[in-house]
Amino acid sequence: MWQYPKTRKICLGGFRMSSILLSFALTFMAFTLVPCIYRLIKGPTLSDRVVALDAMAMVIVVILGVYSYVRDSVFFMDVALVLAIIAFVGTIAIAKYIDKGVVF
């Protein structure tokens, strides 16, 4: 497991500054899912719902990336990469369906 260098030890009440910032980042990103869920449910058009779903997927990808850094596990980065690819392909397919009425 990776250890912090002894020269860069910055503590605030016994916690490392990076752990405080990462906890804040994860909390903030979790709160950013709330407007996405609202737009997904109440979106007046299908395009609004697609954009909200894509934004939710990207926020979840970032959450997985930060969580992977916190847990020092590459597994979560693999999951984040697969989710990003599936979300991208799904968004393109739905956009093509909205535009032309067919996917292929």
Q: What is the pLDDT of residues 70-94, one digit of tens each?
A: 888 889 999 999 999 999 999 999 9
Task: Check residue 13 and give its pLDDT.
Answer: 54
- When the pLDDT of each residue in the chain is averaged and rounded to a whole number, the result is 85
- Flag whether 43 is in a domain: yes
Nearest to 91 by CA among 101, 77, 103: 103
**Computed from CA positions of residues 68, 72, 75, 77, in that sequence, does the dihedral angle turn out positive or negative?**
positive
Q: 101 — alpha (psi -120 to 50), left (phi > 0) or beta?
A: left
- Flag whether 7 is in a domain: no
- Flag whether 4 is in a domain: no
- Flag whether 47 is in a domain: yes
Whether the predicted pLDDT of 3 surpasses 80: no
Element (H, E) at 16: strand 15-16
Question: Residue 43: which domain range?
Answer: 14-100
- Flag whether 64 is in a domain: yes
Task: Check residue 7 and give its pLDDT.
Answer: 46
- Flag whether 51 is in a domain: yes
Task: Check residue 21 and give its pLDDT.
Answer: 86
Q: Which of 5 and 46 is assigned the larger pLDDT?
A: 46
Task: Check residue 54 and give its pLDDT.
Answer: 95
Domain count, the chain: 1
pLDDT-based confidence at 23, cuts 50/70/90? confident
Helix, strand, coil share of the chain (percent; to 5)? 80, 5, 20
Residue 51 tokens read as 């954009």
- Flag whether 31 is in a domain: yes
d(CA 104, CA 64) in angstroms, rounded, equals 31
- Flag whether 25 is in a domain: yes
| Stretch among 4-8, 40-44, 65-69 having the lowest mean pLDDT | 4-8
